[in-house]
């Protein structure tokens, strides 16, 4: 998933070396029985990002009203039983995330597939790029102090599902996948900004006066 080009600091060799020195941790997420298991791989000192994604996958997604998540329910059944999600601050490119074609997976995913004797999918998410992403719906809201937290939570889930759709349907056009994820982002934001969402996230969010 690509965003509009902006000034970013590419990870480069130095960041990759630092990441290796810091090490990586894994977290396994078990959601609905018909969903794939997600194995999160993240830098050891960024547990909070993995926990944010765990909250979005295990609690926010299942709690959404049926029409909001309808476009993804069928798609999730077409994914491999296990999907590795590689979390990093930014990608060398300006993309928010990628699905990894077969043969381009990391050593972790390849080793897991070998041990299981079955296909393992893999995607990556660049959480700082996702945090900085500003889709069109944000222009219609006046953010309270905590809005950035809500935006990151919803955007992380939307980009995750965007890349999972590419993984499930690799021949599907980016424009079609983007329309679905943009619509999902807007719908989830609307739902969470409603009375229950404001209470849940403890935020003061109000629409901009016309």
- pLDDT tens digit string along 79-101? 999 999 999 999 888 889 998 87
Number of helices (H), then strands (E), in the chain: 9, 7
DSSP 8-state symbol, 138: G
Confidence of residue 11 (pLDDT cuts 50, 70, 90): very low
Predicted confidence at residue 13, as pLDDT, reads 55
Q: How far from 12 is each of 41, 53, 85, 121, CA to CA, in Å? A: 19, 25, 20, 25
Mapped onto helix, strand or coil, the DSSP state of residue 39 is strand
What is the rounded distance in angstroms from the CA atom of residue 6 to the CA atom of residue 190? 27
What is the rounded distance in angstroms from the CA atom of residue 133 to the CA atom of residue 149? 13
Confidence of residue 144 (pLDDT cuts 50, 70, 90): low
- Average pLDDT for the chain: 81
Predicted confidence at residue 7, as pLDDT, reads 35
pLDDT at 8 over 50: no
CB 84 within 8 A of CB 125: no
Predicted confidence at residue 50, as pLDDT, reads 96
Predicted confidence at residue 96, as pLDDT, reads 94
Specify the DSSP element, H or E, that contains 25.
strand 24-29
Predicted confidence at residue 189, as pLDDT, reads 86
- Percent of the chain's residues with pLDDT above 70: 77
Predicted confidence at residue 143, as pLDDT, reads 52
- Mean pLDDT on 93-116: 85
The pTM for the full model equals 0.82
CB 38 within 8 A of CB 57: yes
Per-residue pLDDT tens digits for 149-179: 888 999 999 999 999 999 999 999 999 999 9
- Tokens 């959601």 appear where? 31
């Amino acid at each position: 998933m690509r965003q509009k080009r902006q000034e970013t600091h590419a990870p480069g060799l130095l960041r990759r070396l630092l990441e290796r020195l810091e090490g990586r941790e894994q977290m396994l997420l078990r959601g609905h029985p018909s969903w794939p298991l997600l194995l999160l791989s993240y830098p050891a000192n960024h547990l909070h990002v993995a926990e944010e994604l765990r909250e979005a996958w295990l609690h926010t997604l299942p709690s959404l009203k049926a029409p909001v998540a309808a476009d993804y329910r069928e798609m999730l059944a077409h994914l491999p039983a296990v999907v590795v999600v590689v979390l990093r601050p930014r990608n060398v490119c300006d993309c928010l995330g990628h699905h990894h074609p077969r043969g381009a997976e990391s050593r972790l995913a390849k080793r897991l597939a070998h041990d299981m004797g079955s296909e393992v999918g893999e995607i990556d998410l660049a959480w700082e790029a996702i945090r900085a992403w500003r889709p069109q719906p944000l222009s219609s809201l006046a953010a309270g102090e905590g809005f950035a937290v809500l935006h990151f939570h919803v955007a992380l889930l939307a980009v995750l599902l965007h890349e999972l759709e590419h993984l499930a349907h690799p021949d599907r056009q980016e424009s079609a996948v983007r329309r679905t994820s943009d619509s999902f982002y807007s719908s989830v934001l609307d739902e969470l900004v409603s009375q229950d969402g404001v209470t849940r996230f403890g935020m003061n969010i109000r629409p901009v006066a016309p």
